[in-house]
A and B are shown apart, each in its own frame.
Chain A
Amino acid sequence: MTTNTTPQTDTAKTASAPAALLYAVIGGSLLTIVSAFLAWTWTADFPGDLTFYGSPAGLQYVTLAGAALTLVFALSALGVKGLGWLTPAGSRKAVWFLALGNAAATWFTVVAITVVLGGVINLEPGAYVALVGSLVPALAAYKLPDDTRKAAAPKAKLPSWAEILVITGVFALGLFVITFGIDTDDKEPQLFVAYLITVAFAALALNKSGLLARFSALTANNRQVTLIGTAAAAIAFPFIQQSGDTYTLIAVNILIFATVALGLNVVVGLAGLLDLGYVAFLGVGAYAAALVSGSTASAFGIHLPFWAAVIVGALASLVFGVVIGAPTLRLRGDYLAIVTLGFGEIFRIAMGNLDGDSGPDITNGPNGIPNIPHLELFGWNFGESHMVGGIELGAYANYYFLMLLVMALVVVVFSRAGNSRIGRAWVAIREDETAAEAMGINGFKVKLIAFALGATLAGLAGTVQAHVNSTVVPENYVFAGPVPPNSAFLLAAVILGGMGTIRGPILGAALLFLIPAKLAFLQDYQLLAFGIALILLMRFRPEGLIANKRAQLEFHDDTADQAPTDLATAKAGA
């Protein structure tokens, strides 16, 4: 018996320090969870009404979720049976990031209460419990020994039905998280900030724990299921909107923004052409569609069916793309950026001046083209709510579905064009134009195709945008402004999300639309904060939030050098 116990105590001793720290993390998390059920303040003046004992409310949900995640991951780190799958690539960083995120969100909440209500006097004991409870895990987890390791292959392959179940579950969860973010009240910027902090740290933690990598391997194995899941989650969004149409409109605008960003991604991400006036192509499409869609203010006074308006808008953008591209794409480097910047401004100012005073009366000048009638397709009026399966869908849900279709089309165009002879030619031009020409690529022609394709996709999105907004004004198409989409934000969405990827610009567009919309209180400081955020991102993750394989290897030389050498030595050894 004694011989048996000695080695056990030895291992217990060596493991005792991290175990104690982990118990501290667990204890702190539990305390935080308890605190979420206590009142944090005595008055309902603070948004979200955190005055209840016995049930969480508003911001406390965020703290609760963060603490629960920390708890689960700490238990996994402790080696609790059945939770090991959570941390295939090491638990320390995951636990630490989660604890840190939870502490940041909780402390932010408490500080916000103090500032908004004016003084610490407004805090109830529950808030102090939360402060302590969230701080302890963050400090304890920092001291944990680093156990980062290469994720081992999963021991047993899940049966395919289980894989599908996992994917479905994750998509449902993702849909819930995104919906929560979009549906936060604009009057409660604190909730959105806390939500953003928690989600950002949780995403980082999941990435570090190796769980994201495992999940993406799973989705790669089940591409059909993943595609259907993505589509289902996207379609489900309007159906789970309880508070009417408001947030569906935000989603529609995100989709428009993301679609245009994807179009820009062809130009910037694949072909490497810096286009600083891209929003003008969106404007060309919107104006063209508005002029032929029966608006009372239209100079033409014709009302084409929607499909015809789409073709007119896309073709108009295509023509403008070729007209702008043909003379400038023969040049290299920054000339294109300057010319496109100029074109963007010329377009906006020209639209403002074509009002009959200083030019022909086509666009109604700065007043724009109002009263664009709602779409009607197959007897389905887009301006009205409809009952689908017993759930009332607001008017914007129609446009939401239409925009989903347009975006799906753009995604297909992007992935198919990118992964082909022409797409390789674009990347080759981006990499080294001289070498590409020497390999037989007609640089000018190939670049013009990329430019024209990008313009056409933007024009396509513009035709829908004209109908969604029901009015088209020149001020929507500026180079930089607080409201996306504008050229600067489009470019930022592509770069922030990750150039050359599909998910990247979509994520970037969603963030860049939601953050200004939800944090309206920042007002004039929005652009400043935006600039700082971009600088920080370029410093710490230059390849964007979602890196494509190439960029990941490009910017992180350590990993880039490592992998092939490992391979080479492995091969030599074998």
Chain B
Amino acid sequence: MNTMTTTTDTTTKTTVLEAKGVTMRFGGLTAVKGVDLQVNAGEIVGLIGPNGAGKTTFFNCLTGLYVPTEGSVTYKGTVLPPKPHKVTEAGIARTFQNIRLFHNMTVLENVLVGRHTRTKEGLWSALLRGPGFKKAEAASEARAMELLEFIGLEHKADHLAKNLPYGEQRKLEIARALASDPGLILLDEPTAGMNPQETRAAEELIFAIRDKGIAVLVIEHDMRFIFNLCDRVACLVQGEKLIEGTASEVQGDERVIAAYLGTPFEGEPGAAEVAEVEAAEAHAEAEAEAAAEPEAAAETETETEAEAADEDEAPATDADAEADADTDADSTTSTTSTEGEAK
């Protein structure tokens, strides 16, 4: 919580992206149901939700990969056509949840492909190789190298993309997206599969992107990452937006916790056992207290230690207690791991 000092300059409140009532149905299944979302310039907005909540589907609706069944998406006031390349041309770039680089192209070529919408040289110009073509190629290459320096991969420009380590592939995907000079970048789980150091580096990178004046909308499961990073967080559950607000608002919201970890209710399978364990513990405690007096001090110590261990375990099965706990390192990891089981 101490790193929640991401004060952003929110004086420029121009809306970059506005999604209104976006609904996506696949046959009878409604993957996204009437989601409104607004991203302002200079903002980092997080999108969280359990697996299958429709986050990536929502992304695909925004980027034209899917045509929303209902609702509209506007970018800087103009309604976006549902064609991926036109969306990119308008100024929205994206990365993919499962890295989708052009594996058999070099790192530099990958970024150059990202420049596609910002250059205009067609087939004739390529065949005739006039001075305009050479100038444009040189400019594209310079810009691509600049971006590679920005992510720190300039020394690997000639490597094949597939030969990069995982973390660098994620970075390269971001550089490729940035190459189209976007006003908004959508990142789909940019830290999936990364170690803590890489995650921190990714955090820095996203702040640096924001500082370039590019708004960021990010899907992520790593709660600490998202609460450190985002000015606003929206939580999507079963296709519907549950809540939107600052990180602490979302974090404290009971419905969010319930969505991730499930709600305890009467007659819940397992509840009886929990109660039983608690009762047994209480009983044991009472006994221990009773026994403490006549018995040796050493014994008591060992017993209370065992109790303490029991107590540590018991709340772990209790969802509320765990989620209410402060989001220090331990609880975050356990939250993310439980979430996998929850779905």
Q: A interface vs B, CB < 8 Å?
A: 412-413, 416-417, 420-425, 427-428, 431-432, 434-443, 449, 453, 550-551, 553-554, 560-561, 563-564, 567, 571
Q: Is residue B96 within 8 Å, beta carbon to beta carbon, of the partner chain?
A: yes
Q: Is residue B85 within 8 Å, beta carbon to beta carbon, of the partner chain?
A: yes
Q: Is residue B40 within 8 Å, beta carbon to beta carbon, of the partner chain?
A: no
Q: How large is the interface on B (under 10, 10 to 19, 20 to 34, 35 or more residues)?
A: 35 or more
Mark each residue of chain B from 112 to 125: 1 if its CB lies under 8 Å from any CB of chain A, else 0. 11111101011101
Nearest B residue (CB) for A445? B85
Interface residue from B116, B129, B155, B164 paired with A421 (Cβ < 8 Å): B116
Interface residue from B105, B126, B156 paired with A428 (Cβ < 8 Å): B105
Q: Is residue B29 within 8 Å, beta carbon to beta carbon, of the partner chain?
A: no
Q: Is residue B84 within 8 Å, beta carbon to beta carbon, of the partner chain?
A: yes
Chain A residues, CB < 8 A from B127: 412-413, 416-417
Chain A residues, CB < 8 A from B89: 440
Structural contact, A553 and B65, CB atoms closer than 8 A: no
Structural contact, A427 and B126, CB atoms closer than 8 A: no
Structural contact, A422 and B85, CB atoms closer than 8 A: no
Q: Is residue B23 within 8 Å, beta carbon to beta carbon, of the partner chain?
A: no
Interface residue from A416, A422, A436, A571 paired with B102 (Cβ < 8 Å): A436
Structural contact, A439 and B114, CB atoms closer than 8 A: yes
Interface residue from A412, A441, A567, A571 paired with B113 (Cβ < 8 Å): A441
Structural contact, B113 and A439, CB atoms closer than 8 A: yes
Q: A421-B126, A431-B102, A554-B103 are in contact. List 12 more A-B contacts (CB 8 A).
A: A413-B127, A421-B116, A421-B137, A435-B102, A437-B84, A438-B63, A438-B96, A439-B180, A441-B85, A551-B104, A554-B104, A567-B159
Q: Chain A binding site: helix, strand, loop or mixed by DSSP?
A: helix
Chain B residues, CB < 8 A from A413: 127
Known: A422-B122, A425-B116, A428-B105. A434 touches B129 (CB 8 A): no
Chain A residues, CB < 8 A from B109: 424, 427
Question: In the bound complex, what is the Cα–Cα distance between A431 and B160 (angstroms)?
Answer: 13
Q: Is residue B94 within 8 Å, beta carbon to beta carbon, of the partner chain?
A: yes
Q: B interface vs A, CB < 8 Å?
A: 63, 65, 83-85, 88-89, 93-94, 96, 100-105, 109, 112-117, 119, 121-123, 125-127, 129, 133, 136-137, 140, 155-156, 159-160, 162-164, 176-177, 179-180
CB distance from B252 to the nearest CB of A (A): 36
Question: In the bound complex, what is the Cα–Cα distance between A417 and B124 (angstroms)?
Answer: 9
Chain B residues, CB < 8 A from A437: 65, 84-85
CB distance from B79 to the nearest CB of A (A): 18
Structural contact, B105 and A424, CB atoms closer than 8 A: yes
CB distance from A360 to the nearest CB of B (A): 35
Question: In the bound complex, what is the Cα–Cα distance between A423 and B101 (angstroms)?
Answer: 17
Chain B residues, CB < 8 A from A560: 160, 162-163
Structural contact, B104 and A421, CB atoms closer than 8 A: no
Question: In the bound complex, what is the Cα–Cα distance between A561 and B116 (angstroms)?
Answer: 29
Structural contact, A440 and B117, CB atoms closer than 8 A: yes
Structural contact, A553 and B160, CB atoms closer than 8 A: yes
Q: Could you give 22 example pairs across A and B, Cβ below 8 Å?
A: A413-B127, A416-B129, A421-B112, A422-B123, A422-B126, A424-B105, A427-B104, A427-B109, A431-B102, A437-B65, A438-B93, A439-B180, A440-B85, A440-B114, A440-B117, A441-B85, A553-B162, A560-B160, A560-B162, A560-B163, A561-B163, A567-B159
CB distance from B105 to the nearest CB of A (A): 6
CB distance from B277 to the nearest CB of A (A): 50
Question: In the bound complex, what is the Cα–Cα distance between A416 and B85 (angstroms)?
Answer: 24
Question: In the bound complex, what is the Cα–Cα distance between A453 and B127 (angstroms)?
Answer: 11
